[in-house]
């Protein structure tokens, strides 16, 4: 905030100023005219464009490719980031016109009713057709497919945590089919995620996700806590421990203050004797210890700190015993044996049978002194007791959270071990890419500004305009766009970069409590990775040279990619 301007006592806008600024018509006038209006006014023109587009598609398009273009001619293409690696389609042959179902290798079920499939003119299709279906269940499959995982909600950028995604198409004689809206397909997608906090989305032709409905999953387990919630646990516990420490400090302060007040007013607060410690009954001097006078059968307990006390000393015949008060207010018992002195710190206590009566006497004394002291004694005691309650409550919360964290860690490992047991139910009336997702914000906690270099040759600075990030415990792929590396125009003269390189970087945030992996694809199509064990060094933040492992191997299959990224 060092560049911020500082104003003192500036008034907010007046009602009149606010009213003057109110102009809803202006907002409406700036809205883009709805596309439907344009279509209605220009339908003959639009119809020709659509006809031409359809012809063009069948003449030039390859229906096996998952290419999507936007209506605004900003071509959106689904491009697999690693050349030659993608999630392949499984081809299922079914008979259109009959009801049936497809069960995939993962256990996903695609149910289709009669007349579910239509041709491009909207007529029901009969005979053998081909359903092309591919599923994406983990970060590696999602990454390999190139499917965007960002969700824009009014300029608020989110990233999807996926409970499973699929891409479905129907073909007959190399012609694309559509789904009959009156006979939709039901896809029961197998999911390894057990949460009930997902929504269903569809990817549109512009590469943007659209919310469909709340996910209704079959066989959903008890709601797992949001992983963000789990990530915040250590911070929560740390915060509570800090609070507890402060409350304990205040409680001790209040305790001392109350004890001091009792002492000043010669009031002894009864304590029950500890059965594990020795105590001795003595007649104390009424003048020297007036606070003990109101109480009967006071015992003097030898405190835990007396290392020099042994049980044999308790049975010894002493020549003399004296009770003294130390300068700090503690009671000191001095025992004499053949002119030899033994000193023990003691505290006045009462046996279990006498303590109740003693407490009544104490309360009466307190009450009478309290009246004289305008209630100061009871308010001091209430303050102390209230702090005690707060401390107990915080301690309990810490215990609960610690237990919770342990239990969740255990449950998370058990859930990982379990097989897919949940089905995400999609009712679809169009082909395309569908996802069961939960929008997530970028992980937070640590921030660094990297210059990525090749770990095998740190003089080799790597440049990226797209960095991928994932947490090993979460099924979310985070895409970071920007630019990291050498300036693009560095080679050319006259741009100020010819003598000294000023690398370009942007901040990256991540959650240091989670195992995180960061990677990118170099310009020569190699996979460059910052593995989780290297991420902890980035916690310190700031401008850092970050060494990446650059793989020279050809990544021929998804398992190899899983292994390299640490997901296997």
Partner 1 sequence: MKQESSIYHQSKSAIELEHDIVEKAKMDAREFAPIYKKYHAPILQFVYLRLDDKEVAIDITQQVFLKAIENLQKYEFRGLPFSSWLYRIAMNELNQLFRKNKKMRTINLNESITGDLINEMEDEDLALHKEKLGIILKRLSAEEFQLIEMRFFEKRPFSEIGELLDITENNAKVKTYRIIQKLKELFKAEAA
| Choice from 13, 49, 51, 95 touching partner 1 (CB under 8 A) | 13
Q: Is 5 in the site for partner 1 (CB under 8 A)?
A: yes
How crowded is the C-beta side of 458, counted as CA atoms within 13 Å? 5
Nearest approach in angstroms of CB 489 to partner 1 is 22
Stretch that binds partner 1, among 133-141, 234-242, 352-360, 494-502 (CB under 8 A): 234-242
Q: Is 36 in the site for partner 1 (CB under 8 A)?
A: no
Q: Is 10 in the site for partner 1 (CB under 8 A)?
A: yes
Q: Is 8 in the site for partner 1 (CB under 8 A)?
A: yes
353 alpha-carbon distance from chain centroid: 54
Q: Is 494 in the site for partner 1 (CB under 8 A)?
A: no
Nearer to partner 1, 294 or 445 (CB): 445
DSSP string, 169-216: EEEETTEE-EE-TTS-EEEEEEES---S--EEEEE-TTS-EEEEEE-E
| Choice from 16, 122, 156, 359 touching partner 1 (CB under 8 A) | 156
| Choice from 35, 174, 175, 210 touching partner 1 (CB under 8 A) | 210
Q: Is 507 in the site for partner 1 (CB under 8 A)?
A: no
| Choice from 12, 44, 84, 311 touching partner 1 (CB under 8 A) | 12
The answer for residues whose C-beta is within 8 angstroms of residue 462's C-beta and 6 or more apart is 452, 453, 454, 484, 485, 520, 522, 528, 548, 550
Q: How far apart are CA 62 and CA 56, in angstroms?
A: 11
Q: Is 235 in the site for partner 1 (CB under 8 A)?
A: yes
Token digits of residue 168: 């479905």
Q: Is 26 in the site for partner 1 (CB under 8 A)?
A: yes
Report whether 528 contacts 539 (CB < 8 A). Answer: no
| Choice from 70, 172, 178, 232 touching partner 1 (CB under 8 A) | 232
Nearest approach in angstroms of CB 160 to partner 1 is 14
Q: Is 338 in the site for partner 1 (CB under 8 A)?
A: no
Nearer to partner 1, 3 or 320 (CB): 3
Q: Is 9 in the site for partner 1 (CB under 8 A)?
A: yes
Token digits of residue 205: 């032709």
Token digits of residue 424: 């995400």
Instruction: Give the CA distances from residue 542 to residues 45, 229, 239, 371, in Å, rounded to whole numbers and listed in that order.
Output: 56, 26, 25, 62
Stretch that binds partner 1, among 17-25, 43-51, 100-108, 419-427 (CB under 8 A): 17-25
Q: Is 16 in the site for partner 1 (CB under 8 A)?
A: no
Q: Is 37 in the site for partner 1 (CB under 8 A)?
A: no
Per-residue mark of binding to partner 1, 392-431 (x: CB under 8 A): ----------------------------------------
Nearer to partner 1, 375 or 482 (CB): 482
Q: Is 199 in the site for partner 1 (CB under 8 A)?
A: yes
Pairing of strands 446-454, 542-550: parallel
| Choice from 153, 379, 386, 427 touching partner 1 (CB under 8 A) | 153
Q: Is 39 in the site for partner 1 (CB under 8 A)?
A: no
Residues in 85-104 at the binding interface with partner 1, rule: CB under 8 A: none
Instruction: Give the CA distances from residue 83 to residues 67, 79, 480, 483, 554, in Å, rounded to whole numbers and listed in that order.
Output: 15, 9, 20, 21, 10
Q: Is 324 in the site for partner 1 (CB under 8 A)?
A: no
The number of beta carbons lying within 10 Å of the beta carbon of residue 552 is 7
Token digits of residue 382: 């209430």
Sheet holding 422-428, edge to edge: 100-103, 109-112, 185-191, 422-428, 216-218
Q: How far apart are CA 457 and CA 160, in angstroms?
A: 35
Name the residue with tokens 């289709």: 112
Binding-site ranges for partner 1 (CB under 8 A): 1-10, 12-13, 15, 17-18, 21-24, 26-28, 30-32, 152-156, 199, 210-211, 229, 232, 235-236, 239, 243, 441
């Amino acid at each position: 905030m060092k560049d911020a301007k500082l104003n003192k006592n500036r008034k907010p806008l007046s009602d009149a100023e606010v009213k003057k600024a109110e102009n809803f018509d202006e907002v409406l006038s700036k809205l883009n005219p709805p596309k439907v209006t344009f279509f209605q006014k220009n339908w003959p023109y639009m119809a020709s464009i659509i006809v031409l587009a359809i012809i063009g598609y069948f003449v030039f398009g390859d229906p096996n490719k998952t290419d999507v273009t936007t209506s605004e001619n900003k071509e959106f293409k689904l491009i697999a980031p690693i050349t030659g690696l993608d999630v392949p389609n499984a081809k299922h042959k079914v008979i259109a016109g009959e009801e049936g179902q497809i069960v995939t290798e993962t256990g996903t079920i695609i149910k289709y009713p009669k007349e579910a499939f239509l041709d491009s003119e909207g007529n029901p299709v009969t005979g053998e057709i081909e359903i092309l279906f591919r599923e994406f269940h983990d970060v590696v499959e999602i990454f390999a497919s190139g499917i965007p995982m960002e969700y824009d909600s009014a300029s608020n950028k989110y990233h999807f945590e996926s409970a499973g995604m699929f891409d479905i198409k129907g073909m007959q004689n190399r012609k694309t089919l559509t789904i009959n809206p009156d006979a939709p397909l039901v896809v029961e997608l197998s999911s390894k995620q057990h949460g009930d906090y997902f929504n269903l989305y569809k990817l549109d032709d512009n590469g943007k996700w659209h919310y469909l409905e709340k996910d209704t999953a079959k066989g959903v387990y008890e709601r797992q806590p949001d992983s963000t919630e789990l990530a915040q646990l250590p911070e929560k516990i740390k915060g509570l421990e800090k609070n507890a420490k402060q409350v304990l400090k205040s409680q001790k302060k209040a305790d001392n203050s109350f004890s001091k007040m009792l002492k000043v007013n010669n009031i002894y607060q009864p304590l029950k004797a500890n059965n594990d410690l020795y105590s001795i009954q003595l007649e104390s001097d009424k003048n020297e210890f007036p606070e003990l006078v109101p109480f009967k059968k006071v015992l003097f307990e030898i405190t835990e700190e007396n290392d020099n006390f042994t049980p044999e000393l308790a049975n010894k015949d002493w020549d003399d015993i004296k009770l003294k008060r130390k300068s700090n207010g503690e009671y000191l018992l001095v025992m004499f044996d053949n002119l030899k002195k033994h000193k023990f710190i003691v505290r006045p206590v009462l046996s279990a049978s006498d303590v109740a009566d003693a407490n009544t006497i104490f309360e009466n004394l307190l009450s009478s002194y309290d009246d004289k002291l305008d209630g100061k004694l009871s308010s001091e005691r209430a303050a102390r007791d209230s702090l005690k309650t707060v401390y107990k409550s915080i301690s309990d919360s810490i215990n609960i959270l610690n237990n919770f964290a342990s239990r969740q860690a255990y449950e998370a490992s058990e859930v990982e071990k379990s097989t897919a047991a949940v089905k995400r139910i999609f009712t679809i009336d169009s082909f395309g890419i569908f996802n069961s997702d939960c929008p997530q914000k970028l992980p937070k906690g640590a921030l660094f500004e990297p210059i990525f270099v090749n770990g095998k040759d740190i003089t080799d600075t790597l440049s990226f305009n797209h960095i991928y990030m994932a947490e090993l415990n979460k099924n979310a792929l985070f895409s970071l766009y920007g630019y990291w590396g050498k300036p693009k125009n560095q080679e050319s003269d006259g741009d100020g970069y010819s003598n000294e390189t000023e690398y370009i970087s942007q901040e990256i945030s991540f959650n240091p409590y989670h195992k995180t992996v960061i990677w990118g694809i170099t310009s020569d199509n190699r996979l460059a990775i910052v593995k989780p064990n290297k991420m902890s060094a980035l916690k310190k933040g700031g401008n850092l040279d970050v060494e990446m492992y650059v793989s020279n191997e050809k990544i021929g299959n998804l398992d190899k990619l899983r292994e390299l990224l640490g997901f296997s």
